Amino acid sequence: MPFVVDLTDGSVEREDRSAETGHFGGSILGLRLLTERTPAGLDPYDPRALLYVAAGILGGVAAPGLAKAVFLAKSPLTGVAGEAHALGPFAAGIRGAGAKALAITGRAQRLSYLLVEDGRISVHPAEELGGLGTAATTDALRARHGEGAHVAAIGPAGERLVRYASVVTDYAYPAARYGLGAVLGAKNLKAIVCVGDTPAAVADPRALAEIAAFYRAAMPGNALAAWQHADPGFGAWTGEPPAPGYLSVRNFSHTGDSGLRVPSPADYEGLGVATSGSCPGCRPTASRPTRRSACRSAEREGSARRRSRPWAGTSASTTSARCSR
């Protein structure tokens, strides 16, 4: 049952689709809504275009590998449906706030953010957040709604409708594909904030706990999981040069051998804004401080760092996060 939000007039309705044949929620519901409400030929930035945000069908359940939040819209980068997944705790945040899915249309009259709290949806002004990066925006909204709030935000690129702009959830978990940050920007939507701690319901909590315990116990001995949990995290490339096609540079105009030096783990020191924590249900990483106080300065100093470290220009993000999928 998605919440249908019209940013133009601030109206919110709850739509019951559960009786329909083939109703599965998650991405499938999003694609169905997109085909119904975004006509062929409609510009991705048109206020009528649908933006769908949801916990995956199992997203937010406290077990390993079930941490995906879905962002779906007509992509300004490709002109067809674009679906991006954000790992991390945001999916649990949506469910905890009392919503499984949001179907967002319209365009706010001024820069705004959407608040999901205990099953209620409301639109709030966010003009003071204009121009801020995603980390600073998250700082400001958590200061307003509590440290337990989960935030999906866009930065200046999304506001300016850069066609490959990302949405970043909870500091370091991006929905990085298809330019969906620009879709939020076209709707004057700076962020989505989720407040609440209602756990996701499951049919057999005991069986789920046993499965989760098995995977947590197996993770330390798994080479892939160990790599993802080690510095600098699975969001950063280190070691061998990537194969052609894996590394895109110069605004995606070149995908072959870039000629850039491949960074080592030590090269990422001081660049991460989040260096601890894990997705719901996964094995926690080693305890160490999370450098949230560095978020604003990291955004200000990002361009200087890229000048001093040429390889840093290969990524749109200087954050590092860990998650076992």
Q: Tally Cβ neighbours within 10 Å of residue 26.
A: 19
Q: Which has more pLDDT, 270 or 203?
A: 203
Distance CA 72, CA 252 (A): 22
pLDDT for res 288? 36
* Confidence (pTM): 0.80
What is the average per-residue pLDDT within 281-289?
47
Q: Is the pLDDT of residue 284 over 70?
A: no
Distance CA 110, CA 27 (A): 29
Tell me if the bond preceding 232 is cis, omega within 30° of 0.
Answer: yes
Label residue 309 by pLDDT band (50, 70, 90). Answer: very low
Label residue 5 by pLDDT band (50, 70, 90). Answer: very high
Q: Which of 174, 153, 78, 59 is nearest to 111 (CA)?
A: 153
Distance CA 323, CA 287 (A): 15
What is the average per-residue pLDDT within 118-130?
96
Share of the chain above pLDDT 90, in %: 50
Q: What is the pLDDT of residues 86-121, one digit of tens each?
A: 988 999 999 999 999 999 999 999 999 999 999 999
Share of the chain above pLDDT 70, in %: 79
Per the prediction, the chain carries an average pLDDT of: 82
In the chain, what is the straight-line distance between the N-terminal and C-terminal CA atoms, in Å? 27
Window from 170-179, 200-209, 293-302, 312-321 with minimum mean pLDDT: 312-321
Question: Which residues, at least 6 apart from 266, have a Cβ–Cβ distance to it below 8 Å?
Answer: none
Structure tokens that stand for 155 in this block: 């930065």
Distance CA 63, CA 281 (A): 4
Structure tokens that stand for 188 in this block: 């004057």
